[in-house]
Amino acid sequence: MTAAGAIDIRGFDLRALDASFYDDPYPTYRALREQQPIYRCPDSSYFLTRHADIREVYRQPRLYSSDKHKQFHPIMGDGPLFEHHTTSLVFSDPPLHTYVRKAIGNALSSKTVEALAPRVGSMVATLLDEFEERGEFDLVNDYATIIPIQVIGDLMRVPDDERGPLRAWSLAILGGLEANLTAEQLARGNRAVSEFIDYLDDFVARRRSSLSDDHDDMLARLIRWESDGQRLTGHTLYHQCIFILNAGHETTSNLIANGTLTLLARPDKQRQLLENPALVDSAVEELLRFESPNQLGNRTTTAVSEIGGVEIPADTVLTLAIGAANRDPEQFPDPDNVDLARSPNEHLAFAAGIHTCAGLNVARLEGRIAILELLRRFPGLHVSGPVTRQRRARFRGVGSAPLATT
């Protein structure tokens, strides 16, 4: 069923989703937004689907906390995964968030981001040369996941021969954020954080011992950073490195894969972009809106609040349905259609307020180059086999997507 009125939202529960939701969550989002936009879930949390409501939550970080100690401990228990997800930038409040954000902002300087463009262009060209010889490739495993991992590896000067485990670690750690976390996922997440910390303990020590004034990469900046006597040290530094990998890998991979498939399914939009490549900036913003790589976020109320006329008790978990907000017709005319020139386009794919994504310009850069150059090189690019969706609610990603170049 796709009509909003035909979907029964009673009993909707993120912990018990069926396969159709993972394939296409938007009819359910639409039904929730139209019938009960401040939806009380079976576990007494609230699920928000309107753009205006979610934007207002982002604007009030004191009332709507990002700290996850109370929410995650009953699910994760004490362990490496819990330590990571309650220490990293995205799941922290001031003052920890403030000084970590300053450190990452300093490390991701405009100079650092600008310097990435030639490297990303070269990397993409090399991959496309390989695909031209092969005639076919998997959009996800051969392309969309490769680029962000290599970019983050370059930003932190991780040796090429040490990058192998990075993607698996990232997927396992982010998998620990799913609402229906299984014992197996928890074990994988704990193991991945432990292995990553062990690696970083050795890697950071090697970097410190060889650090020189001319080293201006992201990790060097994080190591040297100091503000008001504060520095990133030990596990706090390591967890931000893990966060940077996770944030830079998963969502950007999803942007590249989702964006490419969205355009391949709409030849008129693909043609529009190729005939007017100056549209690429607004096109990437529209692709971020239309298929938001990160679909869900969370906050916890610190006091009694009111959202959309509904009183929310203190200490209540809110799920912010970013994917639903970005299809809200009150904010975006004709939201279920792709408009590459859409303006204004105040999507929430990068969140908002103090938690606006710190690496958004890196993601935009990679998305622009990866999507446009792929379509330019192969005008006859098409899907050549079954496309599979990942069975994950928080992150909207593709499992595999076989493509043929002609």
pLDDT at residue 180 in the model? 84
54 found inside a domain:
no
CA distance 143 to 367: 12
CATH for 362:
1.10.630.10
- Residue 147 in contact with residue 370, Cβ under 8 Å? yes
113 found inside a domain:
yes
Q: Mean pLDDT, to the nearest integer, of 225-230?
A: 87
- Residue 308 in contact with residue 50, Cβ under 8 Å? yes
Say what the alpha-carbon torsion angle 305, 306, 312, 318 is, to the nearest 10 degrees: -90
pLDDT at residue 49 in the model? 99
What confidence tens digit (pLDDT) does each residue in 144-160 have?
Answer: 999 999 999 999 999 99
334 found inside a domain:
yes
Backbone angles phi, psi at 29, to 5 degrees: -55, -45
Reply yes or no on whether the pLDDT at 402 is more than 70: yes
Residue 212's pLDDT band, with cuts at 50, 70 and 90, is confident
What confidence tens digit (pLDDT) does each residue in 292-333 have?
Answer: 999 999 999 999 999 999 999 999 999 999 999 999 999 999
pLDDT at residue 201 in the model? 96
Q: Among 302, 286, 296, 280, which residue's Cα sits nearest to residue 375?
A: 280
- Residue 312 in contact with residue 318, Cβ under 8 Å? yes
Buried b (16+ CB within 10 A) or exposed e, 356-394: ebbbbbbbbbbbbbbbbbbbebbeebeeeeebebbebbb
**Domain membership of residue 110 as a residue range:** 4-28+67-299+322-404
12 found inside a domain:
yes
Place of tokens 């994080």: 222
CA distance 66 to 69: 9
Reply yes or no on whether the pLDDT at 395 is more than 70: yes
Reply yes or no on whether the pLDDT at 18 is more than 70: yes
Reply yes or no on whether the pLDDT at 1 is more than 60: no
309 found inside a domain:
no
59 found inside a domain:
no
Reply yes or no on whether the pLDDT at 2 is more than 70: no
Out of 102-116, 143-157, 336-350, which region has the weakest mean confidence (pLDDT)?
A: 102-116
Q: What is the mean pLDDT of the chain?
A: 95
Number of domains in the chain: 1
What confidence tens digit (pLDDT) does each residue in 156-206 have?
Answer: 999 999 999 999 999 999 999 988 899 999 999 999 999 999 999 999 999
pLDDT at residue 155 in the model? 92
Q: Mean pLDDT, to the nearest integer, of 267-271?
A: 98
Rounded to 10°, the helix 234-264/166-175 angle is: 90
pLDDT at residue 278 in the model? 98
317 found inside a domain:
no
Is the alpha carbon torsion for 301, 307, 313, 318 positive or negative?
negative
Residue 4's pLDDT band, with cuts at 50, 70 and 90, is very low
